[in-house]
Amino acid sequence: MFFSTSPSRSRLPLVAVALIAAASFACSDEPSNSLTGPQLQSAGPPGTGQPDIWAALAAQERHTPRLRALPGVVGTAVGLNPAGKPAVKVFTVSAGVAGIPASLDNVPVSVEVTGLFSVKTEFISRQRPAPIGFSVGHIAITAGTAGARVLRASSPGSVYILSNNHVLAASNGASLGDPILQPGPFDGGVYPDDVIASLTDYQLIDFEGGVNTMDAAIALTHPDSFSNATAVDGYGLPSSVIFDDANTDGLFDNKSVLLQLEVQKSGRTTELTHGTITGINGSVTVCYEDFFGILCLVSANFDDQLLISDGTFSGPGDSGSLIVTDDSNKNPVGLLFAGSETITVANRIDLVLTRFGATVDGSAGPPPPPPPTGTTVHIGDLDGSATGQGSTWTAHAAVTAHDEAHVAVSGATVNGSFSGGASGTGSCITVATGQCTVSKPGIRKKVARVTFTVSGVTHSTLSYNSSSNHDVDGGTNGTTITVAR
């Protein structure tokens, strides 16, 4: 079974789905480049050489509301039956579910016992830069997977971690700017020592019976903190070009070609695995919170999902993994977020990346900076800034580390503490420019200003000389700064 996304949540039951009222979905009339749900147009109209798949997609979407209303049915998709013919797949929590026909509109029906679909919340060590596929998580959840490093045209020069909402945003429970830990809390990550990123954006999950197409979020990080490739025993560097996008509009040209596609992923728990997409246009109910393994308390409905077999493709904590083609191209295909004992469920990566205006970072990257040549390290610049999040605000202390020749020092761990309206410690690790930022989120709006004081700097080869601390612009003494809201 799978980890829940909150420390208070227990294991998810396989029988709970029989007690959940399944939601019904209607076919969409939106154009093929819509982000709101499954589209018949994307499968290719009759006459494109795929009439059997077109008929199966039409039958599935027409009859899914009735099928999903049957007790024990947890989802539908289009796949191939044992004879290799396109069929409507019906997923059930157990064998013997009544009311499922043998065919729909002359399209064969294939019943598959999957059990309950639940979110999948070992690559658990702390690393800097952390490879994609390693443990990560919001401070309020257990652990998931850092799926990919992505870039946004709206923020040139910035890099982000891509993963799930339930991994980075605590299933809608987070605030923008919240710290992200690597490794995730379940794997020993603690605040502030293991902060690797800050939550930037997430797609809200509708838990009220509406239609979702993704469980996704991004968090701002730094290239020196988070790599864009897997560890050496993963699949390596993914492509920045998604699968099946010849017209470069950022969307799959024809999602029916994903059926039977061989794929791979690198994730926190099961690491590098290989599988096959055996279902497209999946419509499933996913359990997010249960009551002592007896009753599913919180669930969400997802349409237009990709289904990967077999059951060994993913496990607990693999949520957020980037799924790519199992070939030398490594084109992104999906974002893993849920599954059962037999099937993994993934969001379409084209919809996810379009939602955030992002692309997967497939660049080789610059070589690492040379090691410092000095003997001591000190603070050479100290600046403060603030950002607001509703009823609270976050204080940021930007620190720059130099050696005695005033050359930027990377890999220095800066420790400090907040006072004067906020309390607590924080740390950060400097990058190639010698810079890093310590943040204090959740400060109440009635607090006008807080103080940050550097308490120490550690480095593998340099000793800390606090007497040399200074501020290049003369704004502070290089040790203490006041940050105003």
Residue 172 sits in the same domain as residue 83: yes
Q: Which amino acid is at 405?
A: A
Q: Which amino acid is at 44?
A: G
**Which residue among 305, 335, 366 closes a domain?**
366
> What's the confidence (pLDDT) of residue 452?
95
CB-CB contact of 52 with 44 (8 Å): no
Angle at Cα 458 formed by Cα 456 and Cα 461, nearest 5°? 145
Whole-Å CA distances, 386 to 20, 251, 394: 44, 37, 6
Give a yes or no: residue 109 inside a domain.
yes
CB-CB contact of 23 with 68 (8 Å): yes
Residue 255 sits in the same domain as residue 386: no
Count of beta carbons in the 10 Å neighbourhood of residue 191: 17
Give a yes or no: residue 146 inside a domain.
yes
Residue 237 sits in the same domain as residue 381: no
> What's the confidence (pLDDT) of residue 77?
94
**Per-residue pLDDT tens digits for 426-441:** 888 887 778 888 888 8
Domain that holds residue 332: 1-366
**Which residue among 366, 397, 418 closes a domain?**
366
Give a yes or no: residue 283 inside a domain.
yes
Q: Which amino acid is at 15?
A: V
> What's the confidence (pLDDT) of residue 7?
33
User: Structural domain tally of the chain?
Assistant: 2
> What's the confidence (pLDDT) of residue 337?
95
CATH number, position 386: 2.60.40
Name which of 196, 212, 205, 200 is nearest 146 in CA terms: 196
Residue 48 sits in the same domain as residue 163: yes
**Which residue among 366, 384, 419 closes a domain?**
366
Count of beta carbons in the 10 Å neighbourhood of residue 383: 18
Neighbouring residues of 29: CB distance < 8 A, sequence distance ≥ 6: none
Residue 59 sits in the same domain as residue 105: yes
The DSSP-derived string for 113-182 is E---EEE-----S--SSBPTTSEEEETTS--EE--EEEEETTSTT-EEEEE-HHHHSTTTT--TT-EEES
Residue 298 sits in the same domain as residue 442: no
> What's the confidence (pLDDT) of residue 427?
84
Residue 356 sits in the same domain as residue 465: no
Residues for the chain: how many in total? 485
Residue 343 sits in the same domain as residue 382: no
Residue 320 sits in the same domain as residue 394: no
Residue 162 sits in the same domain as residue 270: yes
**Per-residue pLDDT tens digits for 360-419:** 999 976 555 566 678 999 999 999 988 876 788 888 899 999 999 888 888 888 999 999
State whether residue 237 is helix, strand or coil. coil
Give a yes or no: residue 317 inside a domain.
yes
Give a yes or no: residue 371 inside a domain.
no
CB-CB contact of 32 with 249 (8 Å): no
40 φ, ψ (degrees, to nearest 5): -60, -35
Residue 397 tokens, joined: 């202390």
Residue 413 sits in the same domain as residue 361: no
Residue 189 sits in the same domain as residue 140: yes
Segments in the chain below pLDDT 70? 1-51, 120-122, 292-294, 365-372, 389
- Stated as kind and residue range, the H or E segment containing 483 is strand 480-484
